[in-house]
Amino acid sequence: MSDQPDTIREIRINPIVPSESVLVSTARGMRPRKEEAPAPRDTRKHVDRCPFCPGNEAMTPPTVAASPETGDWQVRVVENLYPVLGDESNSGNLVFGLQQAIDGYGRHEVIIDHPEHGIALHEMSEEHLFRLIGMYRDRIRALYDADARIQYVLVFKNFGPAAGASIAHTHSQVIAMPVVPENVYNEVIHSRQYFEKNRQCIFCSLIDEALTFEAKIYDRESGSVRRKIDVGQYVIERGEHFVAIKPFASRYEWEVHILPLQHASDFIEINDAQREDLSRVLKRAMARLDAVIGGAQYNFFLHSLPHNNDFSHCQDSYHWHMEICPRTSIPTGFELGSGLFVSTISPEEAAEQLRAVVLD
């Protein structure tokens, strides 16, 4: 039985970036709407005309990297045929009046996650996820090393049409860009401000709270309990080195973040023992999401400290992490106009449902 109130209407502030707010309105979830069946997923192991399936390598650009390096590949990297950024030209930056344009140089690669066409992330073995996470690390490092102009390298995955995936074969992407994205920049700057005030990484503080904090908030007049927070209430999954947490101010109803338990600012410094544990925690977190949502369509991405001298002093204040954002609704005009994400299920209820899933 949940200790949360039956109906919640409150604006929650993101503790990492306080300018970002989330409106939790559980009554909104009771409004009449047409029930939709889960989006169908292509579960075939091989599709003859899929450019990402083994045997069709000639349908893609040449292999940039593969694991293993020889023999049948398990993870394969190619350049994106339709890149959002490219390194074929350098036209320079433009400034005209108040308008500015930065040359769109960079790199855009596709990481083919698995030889099987329709396999889902939670269906992959931990050994395979270990290999995939290693490829993420290697491509981030290689792209930073290849061009000193690169300010940030982002690894992300779109799974399902609602998340923007245009090809059904499971794949991730990596983009090296000439700017630090605003959301990463805000996280780095605000976490540094918190550190300078408290001498503590805010991500580490949030992990400590999730694992150890409990409290009761009472109504001043009646003395009744307004809100109760239990130890581990927001923890979805925990391993030896990583923890999966449901954020208190979740932008998406089933959003989950995975963070290293020990402070680490740069994803590419992950070691083999940590990779093994991340593979397990990621697989189990995705299995919980799939069990509760059913056919989850999602985006996930890695946020790590930019390789930029401007942020070299932020190693002790920034904490790399993975954000998993299931796409169960389309942003409304209110959300686009106000900048407030609306969640119709409380993060506490979502966390309770995810923890309740029984896994092997």
Amino acid 165 reads A
Q: Which of 114, 171, 257, 319 is catalytic?
A: 171
**CA-based Rg of the chain, rounded to a whole angstrom?**
21
Structure-token pair, residue 342: 């609306």
190 is in an annotated binding site: no
Residue 192: φ, ψ to 5°: -70, -40
Q: Which residues pair with 86 in a beta bridge?
A: 105
Please choose, from the candidates 279, 285, 231, the residue with its C-alpha nearest in 3D space to the C-alpha of residue 255: 285
Q: Could you say which DSSP state residue 210 is in?
A: H
The whole-angstrom separation of Cα 179 and Cα 182 is 9
Our answer to whether residue 171 is catalytic in this structure is yes
Contacts of 132 (CB under 8 A, 6+ apart): 75, 111, 113, 114, 124, 172
The whole-angstrom separation of Cα 308 and Cα 232 is 36
117 is in an annotated binding site: yes
321 is in an annotated binding site: no
Q: Which residues pair with 175 in a beta bridge?
A: 108, 154
3-state secondary structure of 113: coil
Q: Which residues pair with 22 in a beta bridge?
A: 12, 341
- Per DSSP bridges, beta strands 21-25 and 341-343 are parallel
Residues 266/315, Cβ–Cβ less than 8 Å: yes
Instruction: Kindly tell me the sign of the dihedral angle through the C-alpha atoms of 124, 127, 128, 129.
Output: positive
The whole-angstrom separation of Cα 325 and Cα 217 is 30
325 is in an annotated binding site: no
* Residues known to be catalytic: 171
Q: Which residue ranges make up the annotated binding site for Zn(2+)? A: 50, 53, 117, 169
Q: Which residue ranges make up the annotated binding site? A: 50, 53, 117, 169
